[in-house]
Structure 1
């Protein structure tokens, strides 16, 4: 059994971590990040799913067998007072388990939501051609996303499709490009191929990261 006091203390210590959720399960709690299961609060202990990098981070941390969670092994995180280390263990676990599969762009879902508006889906498709080609030329994507006929090869992309530079810049650049193209006026076609603005966004992101 995990007490409400332990749960609330844990919640306060992890408030700086994005998208953490604690869900009651009988007399204990399941821990999620970005909707993905990463561990459990069990008998007033934090148990995270064991991963290779978590073991490297905490080589002496004990593995628990007191909680049956299928084929997963669970690592007992003992030092909960060290907030920086606590955040690192949670992010490490999440990244090891889910980061590579995490979607960074899903064109099919976006276009499906406008399936009844062919002019909008055409606009979305066209400005994504510009964006994906730019990202490949800047070595943000590992594989060529556009074929020889100028068509998009794949309609969804995950972190595993990004280079190291892409992981650092792709999402920010994508958000700026989508916002820039989120208009419906007589300049729509011009914006869809406006690589100068895209280059400006990219340069600014790099400068902010330097």
Structure 2
């Protein structure tokens, strides 16, 4: 996304500021990996951007390199802090429906336990009494395979459990279906 601001155009990816179009130049926030990607690119400072250093991106006709530079900047600045699951917010949105809150909590317990057993999460999400330890997860909580599979698996699991019928309780603990989804995602991603 691009937003006009005075004589600049601020660049955003996923709602996060990553750079600026200024004086007919594309400037991205300088990050360690962007400097590795473009070691000869000049670094500039800008009064408007405070303590950030900016890297001037040249050769804008190279779409592949441009996309790589944008993604590198975004990932370095924001990817690790990006939410992949906010269980507390989801449960809170059903505060007037205690039966749905219980169902949500229970199928998240099953999901998080499964993800830890499959080494998609770095730390144990469930305590010895079967309670969820943390109610939100970011990309920094995921392993390398978790980054590739967690969100897709989570979406499938939520959709599978988004029914209110006589099989709701059985679906909440249905690890066979979760395993089936996981195996299919691994095959689609080419992960062994």
Under a length normalisation based on structure 1, what TM-score does the superposition of the two structures give? 0.89
Contact 2:29–2:52 (8 Å) recurs in 1? yes
Q: 1: CA distance between counterparts of 2:57 and 2:104?
A: 45
Contact 1:42–1:67 (8 Å) recurs in 2? no
Q: 2: CA distance between counterparts of 1:67 and 1:89?
A: 23
Pick aligned residue for 2:98 from 112, 118, 143 = 118
Deviation at 1:209, TM superposition (A): 1.3
Aligned to 2:28: 48
Aligned to 1:209: 189
Under a length normalisation based on structure 2, what TM-score does the superposition of the two structures give? 0.97
Contact 1:51–1:93 (8 Å) recurs in 2? yes
5+ long unaligned stretches in structure 1: 1-20
Aligned to 1:137: 117
5+ long unaligned stretches in structure 2: none
Deviation at 1:48, TM superposition (A): 0.2
Deviation at 1:65, TM superposition (A): 2.8
Pick aligned residue for 1:181 from 151, 161, 169 = 161
Give the length in aligned residue pairs: 190
| Cα-to-partner distance string for 1:59-96 (whole Å, 9 max, x where unaligned) | 00001235531110000001100000000000000000
Pick aligned residue for 1:199 from 154, 159, 179 = 179
What CA RMSD, in Å, does the superposition of the two structures yield over aligned residues? Answer: 0.8
Deviation at 1:103, TM superposition (A): 0.3
